[in-house]
Structure 1
Amino acid sequence: MAKKEDNNQGPNFKIIIFVQLNLQISNNAKLERRLSLGEYNRAVSWSKYLVSSGAAIKGDGEEEWSADMSQLLIGNKFASGRHSRIYRGIYKDRDVAIKLISQPEEDGELAAFLEKQFTSEVAMMFRLSHPNVITFFAACKKAPVFCIITEYLAGGSLRAYLHQQEPYSLPINLVLKFAIDIAKGMQYLHSQGVLHRDLNAKGFTGTYRWMAPEMIKEKAHTKKVDVYSFGIVLWELLTALTPFDNMTPEQAAFAVCQKNARPPLPSTCPVAFCHLINRCWAGNPHKRPDFNKVVTTLESFAKSLEQDPDFFSSYKPRRDQTICRFFPKWTSSVFSAKKDFGSTLSWILSKV
């Protein structure tokens, strides 16, 4: 996720939906100015295909998203991966991020895979439009280098923003605002049949710390993997810390899968958020809410906070939720024996 500074109420967060190409952000953007001659030549060799007579590959609907390369200016690189690089640039007088994907000429199978991945990514991004999802502008498909142009979010990643904050210092109204932005973006993606699969505060991929256990185990998974990751992001918003920061990513993956570990909820965490986070990162995907429910819950929190500044300090879970939390097996057997939920709940409460 990344933020866009465009109002006086704090940044708006947008979902970045580049497919997984193992991107790693540069530690210092200024270092990119001091490229070695070899690195410079390789960078030039990538971009030259976009303005030369490279072999154009036509596909369905390409004319609708094809970039006018005469309007593109490529600037400094700020992220890179094995087969891709992302640059800041200008396209038709707008600040943009430019992702270049290089097909390895010596590996035809991998080249075909990267081309297919590029085509799928562009087709997906072209049809998406939402205030909380990064905006796609254009693309260019000239082998052996492909190009995707999106809006550039100058505010940086959510992780970078949180790193600037003191732990546990983010005001609860900002936590809510950011959480709603992210949840609405994910709600839209899911409504369009898009699974993110790598939702995290960094905005880049390869993130075991945010990954649902069923994905780590490479099992069949659903949209609920994104809900799990959102639970971790909520924890980050409340703490401004990195999840499992005392472990390597691999150790975190093992702890999540084998020990059902989760980042510790701080004692200062509002009860309302604790309940939502615990539901989002539940080990059983079926127990996680969908993003429609998440958005509704967060918006109800925001409305209640607006009406009552002490809402979170006075919030108490429903009594039936508390009973089910402490006596899950007992209440489950009772509910299965009774058809009428209302009468069952009344019967339970009469016994407490």
Structure 2
Amino acid sequence: MSALLADVGLNILEAHVFSTTDGYSLAVFVVDGWQSEEIQELTRALSRALSAMEKGAWAKPSSKSEMPVVHETAVHPENGQIPAPALPSTGTDDWEIDYNQLKFTQKVANGSFGDLFQGTYCGQDVAIKILKPERLNENLQREFLQEIRIMRKVRHKNVVQFIGACTKPPNLCIVTEFMSGGSVYDYLHKQKAVLKMPMLLRVAIDISKGMDYLHQNKIIHRDLKAANLLMDENEVVKVADFGVARVQAQSGIMTAETGTYRWMAPEVIEHKPYDYKADVFSFGIVLWELLTGKVPYADLTPLQAAVGVVQKGLRPTIPRNIHPKLMELMHKCWKTDPAARPDFTTITALLKVILKEVNAEILEEESKRTRDVKKPGGLFSSFKRSAVR
């Protein structure tokens, strides 16, 4: 169907496939490239293309395709790992992208296992994360396919939108919407930006909403930190990077250490069973990042920080003079007992209350300044006296 639409001159902007247990599927495509007033001609063009396909004018995909496919495998209840997926596939997945249709603009970032590029796909600005072929191994391949498996399921305004992927070696890459604002980490630490409280709370609410959506869909991120939070041109923040994310096991708990030590919950550091509340702990650290613009435990190595968190109850020092409810929320997120931490539904509601109170305080301060200027003997009166003279 994707090829058919392209054949009649349409550009596919979005594709959604819904399947039922009785074997039926519904494919929904959002396209451009055709004038809306010429819908009847479009219908005729599609009919002609379908007729040609039925007559065998279109070549059928080879059964020998070696495209990898993401299989719906269960998370191991003991170690939280997903078995290595089998690679053979029909290559007919709707999210599969032809690598030759990607245009690369510039390298945005590079890492040990892959590079991130800005580019275009069918005229749309995209981010392209490419795995380095020389670093490819079974574990990295598993994480790559796991990220696809999770991202193709989620759709939320505060989660980076998956567009497609290339899964045919050596060109393994994931394509997502391009976030022109970069990461929250870069915004805080490289641009040295200072967030005013209203914006800080809006950013925190965006993150909390995105995480709440993931948890509602039984997805544990496992590596929540400022570097994995991206901003668009409107300063809307979205959760990104699902390379180590996992679908929560039926038991509700998982094990196996993952993530980054400075943001990691103590139960994860200790290899104890954990659940979605591990993300809540990390969110508390992110809140601290937003408030201070600093890297947590910057004077310690990651390993020293991990030991301090587990053995000494180490937590970042909260700045003075912040909103008391925000301080209380951070302390709750950092509770050693995961059950004592709030969920993201509760966190979002509380952050909205705090934002409302902060905005009210700002309005009151502005109103007070205006009254001070206008009252007798104020700045406004001084201007009037100067004008009379």
Is TM-score (shorter-chain normalized) higher than 0.5?
yes
Note if contact 1:103-1:114 (Cα within 8 Å) is conserved in structure 2. no
User: Is 2:108 aligned against 1:78?
Assistant: yes
- Residue by residue over 1:257-290, the C-alpha shift from the partner in whole angstroms, topping out at 9 and shown as x without a partner, is 1111111011122211110000011111111001
**1:70 Cα deviation after fit:** 3.5
**1:112 Cα deviation after fit:** 3.8
Q: What is the rounded CA distance, in whole Å, between the counterparts of 1:166 and 1:115 in structure 2?
A: 35
Match of 1:140 among 154, 166, 173: 166
* Uncovered stretches (5+) of structure 1, i.e. residues with no partner: 1-52, 312-352
Matched letter for residue 234 of structure 1: L
* Residue correspondence of structure 1 range 24-39 to structure 2 within 5 A: none
User: Is 2:224 aligned against 1:194?
Assistant: no
Matched letter for residue 317 of structure 2: P
* Residue correspondence of structure 1 range 6-155 to structure 2 within 5 A: 55-57=66-68, 58-59=88-89, 62-102=92-132, 111-155=137-181
User: Is 2:310 aligned against 1:257?
Assistant: yes
Matched letter for residue 195 of structure 1: I
* Residue correspondence of structure 1 range 246-325 to structure 2 within 5 A: 246-309=299-362
- Residue by residue over 1:4-54, the C-alpha shift from the partner in whole angstroms, topping out at 9 and shown as x without a partner, is xxxxxxxxxxxxxxxxxxxxxxxxxxxxxxxxxxxxxxxxxxxxxxxxx99
**1:103 Cα deviation after fit:** 5.1
* Higher Cα radius of gyration: 2
Aligned residues: 255
Q: What is the rounded CA distance, in whole Å, between the counterparts of 1:257 and 1:77 in structure 2?
A: 38
TM-score, structure 1 normalization: 0.66
* Residue correspondence of structure 1 range 197-212 to structure 2 within 5 A: 197-203=222-228, 207-212=260-265
CA separation of 1:222 and 1:141: change in aligned 2, threshold 3 A: same
**1:136 Cα deviation after fit:** 0.6
Q: What is the rounded CA distance, in whole Å, between the counterparts of 2:185 and 2:171 in structure 1?
A: 30
**1:200 Cα deviation after fit:** 0.4
Q: What is the rounded CA distance, in whole Å, between the counterparts of 2:112 and 2:191 in structure 1?
A: 32
**1:308 Cα deviation after fit:** 4.3
Structure 1 counterpart SS, 2:165: strand
Matched letter for residue 273 of structure 2: A
* Uncovered stretches (5+) of structure 2, i.e. residues with no partner: 1-63, 69-87, 229-240, 245-258, 365-389
- Residue by residue over 1:200-228, the C-alpha shift from the partner in whole angstroms, topping out at 9 and shown as x without a partner, is 01227962111111111122111011100
**1:310 Cα deviation after fit:** 8.0
Note if contact 2:125-2:178 (Cα within 8 Å) is conserved in structure 1. yes
- Residue by residue over 1:300-343, the C-alpha shift from the partner in whole angstroms, topping out at 9 and shown as x without a partner, is 222333444489xxxxxxxxxxxxxxxxxxxxxxxxxxxxxxxx
TM-score, structure 2 normalization: 0.60
Note if contact 1:72-1:91 (Cα within 8 Å) is conserved in structure 2. yes
Matched letter for residue 188 of structure 1: Y
Q: What is the rounded CA distance, in whole Å, between the counterparts of 1:60 and 1:289 in structure 2?
A: 44
CA separation of 1:82 and 1:240: change in aligned 2, threshold 3 A: closer
- Residue by residue over 1:155-210, the C-alpha shift from the partner in whole angstroms, topping out at 9 and shown as x without a partner, is 1111211125768x532111111110111110111111111111001227962111
Q: What is the rounded CA distance, in whole Å, between the counterparts of 1:133 and 1:287 in structure 2?
A: 26
CA separation of 1:81 and 1:55: change in aligned 2, threshold 3 A: farther
Q: Which of structures 1 and 2 has the larger relative contact order (alpha carbons within 8 angstroms, sep 6+)?
A: 1
Match of 1:162 among 172, 178, 188: 188
What does residue 344 of structure 1 align with? none
Q: What is the rounded CA distance, in whole Å, between the counterparts of 1:166 and 1:232 in structure 2?
A: 18
Q: What is the rounded CA distance, in whole Å, between the counterparts of 2:300 and 2:294 in structure 1?
A: 13
**1:153 Cα deviation after fit:** 1.2
Q: What is the rounded CA distance, in whole Å, between the counterparts of 2:354 and 2:90 in structure 1?
A: 45
Structure 2 counterpart SS, 1:75: strand
User: Is 2:211 aligned against 1:183?
Assistant: no
Q: What is the rounded CA distance, in whole Å, between the counterparts of 1:273 and 1:114 in structure 2?
A: 38
**1:77 Cα deviation after fit:** 2.8
- Residue by residue over 1:139-166, the C-alpha shift from the partner in whole angstroms, topping out at 9 and shown as x without a partner, is 1111233111111212111121112576
Identity of aligned residues (%): 41
CA separation of 1:83 and 1:245: change in aligned 2, threshold 3 A: closer
Q: What is the rounded CA distance, in whole Å, between the counterparts of 1:309 and 1:81 in structure 2?
A: 42
Q: What is the rounded CA distance, in whole Å, between the counterparts of 2:107 and 2:66 in structure 1?
A: 25
Q: What is the rounded CA distance, in whole Å, between the counterparts of 2:302 and 2:260 in structure 1?
A: 7
What does residue 14 of structure 1 align with? none
What does residue 171 of structure 1 align with? 196
Matched letter for residue 126 of structure 1: R
**1:120 Cα deviation after fit:** 2.1
